[in-house]
Structure 1
Amino acid sequence: MAFVQCDIFSYELGMDTELTVLLPEKRQQKPIDRSGKKYKVLYLLHGHGDDHTAYIRKSLIELLVRDKNLVVVMPNCHRGMYTDGVYTHRYYSYVAEELPVVAANLFHGSPDPKDQYIAGFSMGGYGAAKIALRNPDRYAAVGVLSGGMDMEDHMTHGTGGHFTVPDMERNQFDIFGSPEQFHGSQEDLFALLEQARKAGGFAPKFYHACGTEDFLYSENVRFRDALRGCGGVWDYTYEEGPGGHDWDFWNTYLPRMLRCFGLIDGHELGWMTGVAGKGLEAANGIARGI
């Protein structure tokens, strides 16, 4: 695939911002005119403390989709929680509203909802779930790997020392306001589940996975149980297994998520799962991350 790192001006953010993009490329073939072709688009959202390079540096995404007619867009959303913050930038509007237009205009991305996919890990899992639940008519599938699913609990009880970066709690209050402001709002995943229940379900495929040793495991289980209690029509797949909040787990389940989406087949799933199981440090020379 062609690998692109670029800076664009974001109207919603009011500043230049970075993108990492993978583009379809026919290697060792004579170039032909494909200027009129539109491609499926997968938006991959990074976690708290990571950036737009996370998947390229730490995952096997390029190997997984190397021969697919797929555009992979990886934005930089800093510590913004994919939210139009109370005192911070408009990261929700950037990803949900502006980025699909950028993908269509610059990268030949198809604007058709059946060709749009969104997924993320940790903070990015929260963002992907929120964006899809608020816009179920815009995506074919959504994926959550070890998502931060209960931000109200994080604001109320903290994160148990799992994040040692400065001002973690202050950052969440700057974004969401108070727990009272957050509860029942359009940022609250459990409130969005209730909206989906009243609407009779959720059309896109929903893939969800979390490691049983992950410090976010309990809130992922709470979200799973709340979703299963919604009733209505859902195409929901939940998986769990041994693992923590790290790239060993995410690289094991990333191909399973893409297989659930129908973006890769069983051959890639089997091969990549084997690679992940043998240790990703040896596979692609990365350090264990969070």
Structure 2
Amino acid sequence: MGGIALSINKISYYSDTLKKITNVTIIIPETSNTVSDTFPVLWLLHGLGGDNSVWLRRTSIEEYADKYQIAVIMPDAQRSFYTDMSFGGDYWTYITQELYTKIYSTFPLSPLRENNFICGASMGGYGALKWALTYPEKFSAVAALSPVLDLRDFETRELLSKKEFAGIFHGKDLEKGPLVISWLIKQYNLTSSSKLSVLTASGTKDFLLNQNQAFSSIFQNKFKRNYTWMKTEGAHDWNLWRPQLKKVMEWLPVKETNVEN
């Protein structure tokens, strides 16, 4: 097998929803397949200090995209918590509606639920779970690495100033409703067509470990054998998420592909 053959597209464009230029990084495998073929899709959501390029810079996602012949979509959500902010951009609407529509109409991506997956770390883990639980028809598997699962608890961590937290969540219900992961889990309607594989992970020294361990039983009770809990050595950083992403790729229902380049 030759070297990695991928198209890495770093796109800047004007978003009608955000009313500004925004960025997205897209990896598309390049094979000898016919142009009519489509690829399975993995959405990768960054954390509070990241952007659309951080997964490419800090992990081996380029290698995995080639190995599993999977397209990877990495949007930029700033520090929005993948939410329509109270005082700021409508990043939830932008990513789940505008960007989603543009991406699937532009690139050779499979529209089938069974071929679409989503993963995120920290803030991105929250966004990934929120998206998968809110729109059951979109994704068949979701993985969240060190996700923020309890916004009220996270608020006390002071990783966001009170002003910044209010800029995102002021006036929004953080006890129940569509921003609350525990509420979304309870509301999720498990049917034969909406079975969801869920993986959550944390580290032994992760400051969100207690949140994640507490929620693991909630996920287990809801999703039964379709739920995987993973705790590995490490803190809330890329030294933890880099090897965990490798495990996620092995867990996803995509087969390793030998492609002659």
TM-score (norm. length: structure 1): 0.80
Which of the residues 179, 182, 185 maps onto 1:190?
Answer: 182
Residue 135 of structure 2 corresponds to 135
Higher relative contact order (CA 8 A, sep 6+): 2
- Structure 1 266/257 Cα, relative in aligned 2: closer, same or farther at 3 Å? farther
Given that 2:51 and 2:77 are in contact with CA atoms closer than 8 Å, whether structure 1 keeps it comes out as yes
Residue of structure 2 equivalent to 1:204: 196
Work out the percentage of aligned pairs sharing the same amino acid: 28
The AA in structure 2 aligned to 1:194 is K
1:111 is displaced (CA, Å) by 1.7
Query: CA 1:252 to 1:33, structure 2 compared with 1: closer, same or farther past 3 Å?
Result: closer
Which one-letter code corresponds to 1:44 in the other structure?
A: L
Aligned counterparts, 1:270-289, within 5 A: none
The list of structure 1 runs, each at least 4 consecutive aligned residues, that deviate by more than 3 angstroms after superposition, is: 264-267
- Tell me the SS of whatever aligns to 2:44: strand
Q: Which residue of 2 aligns with 1:235?
A: 226
* Structure 2 match to 1:4: 9
User: Cα gap change, 1:263/1:149 in structure 2, threshold over 3 Å: closer, same or farther?
Assistant: same
* 1:253-272 equivalences in 2 (<5 Å): 253-265=244-256
The whole-number CA distance in structure 1 between the counterparts of 2:68 and 2:232 is 28
Q: Secondary structure at the match of 1:153?
A: helix
Task: State the distance in 1 between where 2:130 and 2:209 align.
Answer: 18
**Pairing 1:171–2:176 present:** no
- Confirm or deny that 1:245 pairs with 2:244: no
Distance 1:266 1:249, change over 3 A: farther
Tell me by how many angstroms 1:20 deviates.
0.9
Alignment gaps of 5+ in structure 2 = 1-5
Q: CA RMSD in A?
A: 2.2
- Is the 1:23–1:71 contact (alpha carbons within 8 Å) kept by the matching residues of 2? yes
* 1-structure distance, mates of 2:57, 2:47: 13
Per the alignment, in what secondary structure is the counterpart of residue 34 of structure 1? Answer: coil
- Deviations 1:141-196, CA, capped at 9 Å, x for gaps: 111001111112223xx21x5x3xxx533222211125x72210200101111212
1:117 is aligned to 117
Q: Is the 8 A contact 1:146 1:211 kept in 2?
A: yes
Q: Would you say the 8 A contact 1:203–1:234 is kept in 2?
A: no
Q: Distance in 1 between matches of 2:146 and 2:165?
A: 18
| CA deviation vs aligned residue, 1:254-284 (integer Å, no higher than 9, x gap) | 01111111235499xxxxxxxxxxxxxxxxx
Counterpart CA distance in 1 for 2:33 and 2:185 is: 44
- Do 2:117 and 2:139's aligned partners in 1 also have CA atoms closer than 8 Å? yes
Pick from 211, 215, 221: which aligns with 2:207? 215
CA distance in 2, matches of 1:57, 1:264: 24
| Mapped partners of 1:67, 1:221: distance in 2 | 32
Amino acid in the other structure paired with 2:12: D
Deviation of the 1:35 alpha carbon: 2.5
- Quick check: 1:203–1:233 contact (8 Å CA) kept in 2? no
Residue-by-residue CA offset, 1:230-254 (whole Å, 9 max, x unaligned): 4x65611111021101111111110
Distance (whole Å) between structure 2 residues aligned to residue 50 and residue 147 of structure 1: 14
Secondary structure at the counterpart of residue 128 of structure 2: helix
Give 1:45 deviation, angstroms. Answer: 0.2
Report the equivalent of 1:144: 144
Residue number in structure 2 paired with 1:29: none
Q: Is the 8 A contact 2:69 2:257 kept in 1?
A: no
Distance 2:13 2:71 in 1: 17
Moved more, 118-127 or 131-140: 131-140
Pair 174,234 (structure 1): closer, same or farther in 2 beyond 3 Å: farther
| Paired residues of 1:12 and 1:90 also in contact (CA < 8 A) | yes
Query: Matches of 1:11 and 1:81 in 2, distance apart?
Result: 19
* Structure-1 separation of matches of 2:204 and 2:85: 31
Match status 1:69 vs 2:69: yes
Between the aligned partners of 2:14 and 2:40, the Cα distance in structure 1 is: 23
When normalised by structure 2's length, the TM-score is 0.88
